């Protein structure tokens, strides 16, 4: 690779010299001018890739297309291209074509857990509503590569209405997460219609939106958008910052607009080899996030989607990062480290173990410093038998708002009202012999 000019000069040419400021701040202009080919990428950054690099690029984008907003492209440090976290998240890598034995097109079984168009229903009281297959940028680590890129589209009202109808006739659903693609790639009016339809459903208490536009397209967070969103409280937004470098002045302004609109903000990072698999980088990231009123929510282990093998780290790296955060920074800076279980098992927290041992009257614990201590169990605790007959219980449960559901999993094993003593995996040979 050869370099032409300086990164500063090329960035300025992108944002200032060749482009009117009004256009640069127009999110629709940004979308129309997304970089989708290697020639434009080279020209705008002032670089020249080797022929082998160009050949690898063309092979990769034939399966996993590229799209980078001019804004996000301007953040790339071309003087250290191979180690730049922006470049690694946005530019195709030939390693994406290496499909490992454990890789799956749909590792989370979102399609199999779809009872209606646009809906994934995995957890008892909440659903995922996929309202768009379109993104501002194609993240190279995307778990939904199967549906984003080649299949860029926005479902029509009839299709989304079928998903909303499922939510309407399923009263246990109290929480709806809009995702995609990116919901903020919809027009204000279309998104307003979806939110209005959902808000009209009495049992829907909370609506969440997952978006990466504050990271890759902060221009999308307009005053008009925020004004529209404020009509639909309680509304939560989760975004997706993976590296401190992504928290620019523009992205921070976008976050401030959302926070000033009374919208609680969370962040979901993905642990990516070569990008953020460093305790110091992650500590800076989470501290910058909370300084911008964004609560670190999840740190995801990279999924088993096809073409992500080069991004995956050992689980032990995530534990190491958590050890560097817990006790070393504010508690609300610490995300929950999770593995989204292959096969649709949902998010499983994987955290450092601070409980060393326990007896009938003491538990032995360790803190972040390695100090080992004990906590004495109460001497006078009276075990209450729970038969799930809440009407006869002395504890004051508001039965009108309580959502009594069938006991599941470990909750069932711990319950006094259920006689189940074990959970038996399907196909257990010993139990099959009994039958």
Tokens of 20: 């009117």
Does residue 256 sit in the same domain as residue 293?
A: yes
Report d(CA 91, CA 79) in Å as an integer.
15
Q: Is residue 408 part of a domain?
A: no
- Of 23, 43, 63, 126, the active-site residue reads 126
CA 49 from chain centre, in angstroms, equals: 32
Q: How does strand 336-341 pair with strand 346-349?
A: antiparallel
For the full predicted model, state whether its pTM sits above 0.75. Answer: yes
- Of 71, 78, 106, 139, the active-site residue reads 139
Q: Is residue 132 part of a domain?
A: yes
pLDDT of residue 87: 95
Does residue 89 sit in the same domain as residue 128?
A: no
| 82 contacts 126 by C-beta, under 8 angstroms | no
CB within 8 Å of 316: residues ≥ 6 apart = none
pLDDT of residue 345: 82
Tokens of 165: 């109808």
- Of 245, 303, 312, 337, the active-site residue reads 303
Report d(CA 116, CA 224) in Å as an integer.
31
pLDDT of residue 146: 62
Q: Is residue 361 part of a domain?
A: no
Does the active-site annotation cover 252?
no
Does the active-site annotation cover 158?
no
Does the active-site annotation cover 139?
yes
Does residue 198 sit in the same domain as residue 245?
A: yes
Does residue 130 sit in the same domain as residue 31?
A: no
What sign does the dihedral 423-427-429-432 (CA atoms) show? positive
For the chain, the residue count is: 435
List the helix and strand counts (H, then E) for the chain: 16, 14
- Of 113, 182, 277, 340, the active-site residue reads 340
Does the active-site annotation cover 142?
yes
HSE-CB of 57 using CA atoms within 13 angstroms: 18
- Of 347, 366, 390, 418, the active-site residue reads 347
The region that residue 166 occupies, defined by phi over 0 for left and psi between -120 and 50 for alpha, beta otherwise, is: alpha
Q: Is residue 320 part of a domain?
A: yes
Does residue 313 sit in the same domain as residue 252?
A: yes
Does residue 154 sit in the same domain as residue 284?
A: yes
- Of 135, 140, 297, 300, the active-site residue reads 135
Does residue 339 sit in the same domain as residue 267?
A: yes
Q: Is residue 409 part of a domain?
A: no
Residue 342, classed as helix, strand or coil, is coil
Q: Is residue 317 part of a domain?
A: yes
Q: Is residue 253 part of a domain?
A: yes
Residue 433: is it exposed, middle or buried by C-beta count within 10 angstroms (0-12/13-18/19+)?
Answer: exposed
- Of 78, 144, 245, 283, the active-site residue reads 144
Does residue 88 sit in the same domain as residue 168?
A: no
Does residue 203 sit in the same domain as residue 254?
A: yes
Q: Is residue 273 part of a domain?
A: yes
Give the chain's largest Cα–Cα span.
78
Does residue 230 sit in the same domain as residue 158?
A: yes
The CATH number of whichever domain residue 217 belongs to comes to 3.20.20.70
Residue after which a domain boundary falls, among 321, 349, 377: 349
pLDDT, tens digit only, all 435 positions of the chain: 544 444 444 444 554 445 677 899 999 999 999 999 999 999 999 989 899 989 999 998 888 889 999 999 999 998 999 899 999 999 999 998 888 888 777 777 777 788 999 999 988 899 999 999 889 999 988 887 666 655 567 889 999 999 999 999 999 999 999 998 899 999 999 999 999 999 999 999 999 999 999 999 999 999 999 999 999 999 999 999 999 999 999 999 999 999 999 999 999 999 999 999 999 999 999 999 999 999 999 999 998 888 889 999 999 999 999 999 999 999 999 999 999 888 878 899 999 999 999 988 899 999 888 888 999 999 888 877 777 777 778 777 765 654 556 677 766 776 767 777 777 777 777 667 676
- Of 118, 142, 302, 333, the active-site residue reads 142
Tokens of 112: 């199999």
CA dihedral 104, 105, 108, 114 (to 10 degrees): -140
Does the active-site annotation cover 303?
yes
- Of 78, 122, 140, 208, the active-site residue reads 122
Alpha-helix residue ranges (DSSP H) falling in 261-404 = 279-291, 315-325
Give the orientation angle of helix 38-45 with respect to helix 51-61, to 10 degrees: 130
Does the active-site annotation cover 317?
no
pLDDT of residue 3: 47
Report d(CA 103, CA 113) in Å as an integer.
19
pLDDT of residue 19: 67
Residue after which a domain boundary falls, among 349, 381, 403: 349
How many structural domains is the chain composed of?
2
Does residue 319 sit in the same domain as residue 194?
A: yes
Does residue 178 sit in the same domain as residue 59?
A: no
Residue 10 belongs to domain spanning:
2-96
């Amino acid at each position: 690779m050869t370099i032409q000019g300086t990164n500063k000069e090329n960035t300025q040419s992108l944002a200032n010299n060749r482009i009117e400021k009004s256009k640069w701040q127009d999110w629709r202009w940004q979308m129309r001018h997304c970089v989708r080919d290697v020639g434009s990428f080279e020209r705008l950054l002032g670089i020249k890739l080797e022929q082998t690099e160009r050949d690898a690029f063309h092979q990769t984008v034939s399966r996993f297309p590229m799209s980078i907003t001019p804004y996000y492209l301007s953040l790339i440090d071309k003087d250290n291209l191979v180690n730049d976290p922006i470049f690694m998240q946005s530019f195709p890598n030939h390693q994406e074509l290496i499909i490992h034995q454990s890789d799956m097109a749909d590792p989370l079984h979102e399609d199999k857990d779809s009872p209606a168009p646009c809906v994934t229903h995995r957890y008892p009281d909440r659903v995922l509503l996929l309202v768009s297959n379109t993104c501002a940028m194609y993240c190279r680590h995307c778990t939904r590569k199967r549906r984003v890129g080649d299949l860029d589209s926005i479902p029509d009202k009839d299709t989304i209405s079928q998903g909303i109808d499922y939510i309407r006739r399923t009263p246990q659903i109290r929480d709806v997460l809009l995702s995609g693609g990116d919901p903020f790639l919809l027009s204000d009016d279309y998104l307003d219609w979806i939110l209005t339809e959902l808000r009209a459903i009495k049992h829907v208490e909370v609506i969440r939106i997952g978006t990466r536009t504050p990271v890759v397209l902060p221009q999308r967070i307009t005053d008009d958008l925020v004004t529209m969103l404020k009509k639909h409280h309680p509304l939560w937004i989760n975004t997706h910052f993976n590296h401190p470098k992504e928290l620019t002045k523009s992205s921070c302004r976008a976050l401030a607009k959302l926070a000033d609109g009374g919208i609680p903000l969370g962040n979901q990072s993905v642990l990516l080899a070569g990008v953020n698999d460093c305790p110091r980088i992650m500590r800076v990231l989470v501290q910058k996030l909370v300084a911008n009123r964004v609560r670190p929510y999840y740190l995801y282990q990279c999924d088993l989607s096809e073409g992500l093998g080069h991004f995956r780290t050992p689980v032990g790296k995530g534990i190491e990062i958590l050890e560097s955060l817990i006790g070393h920074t504010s508690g609300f800076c610490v995300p929950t480290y999770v593995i989204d279980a292959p096969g649709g098992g949902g998010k499983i927290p994987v955290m450092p173990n601070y409980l060393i041992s326990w007896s009938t009257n003491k538990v032995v614990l360790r803190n972040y410093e390695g100090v080992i201590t004990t906590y004495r169990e109460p001497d006078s605790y009276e075990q209450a038998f729970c038969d799930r007959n809440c009407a006869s219980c002395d504890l004051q449960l508001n039965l009108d708002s309580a959502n009594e559901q069938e006991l599941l999993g470990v909750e069932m094993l711990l319950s006094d009202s259920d006689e189940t003593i074990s959970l038996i995996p399907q196909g257990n040979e010993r139990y099959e012999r009994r039958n």
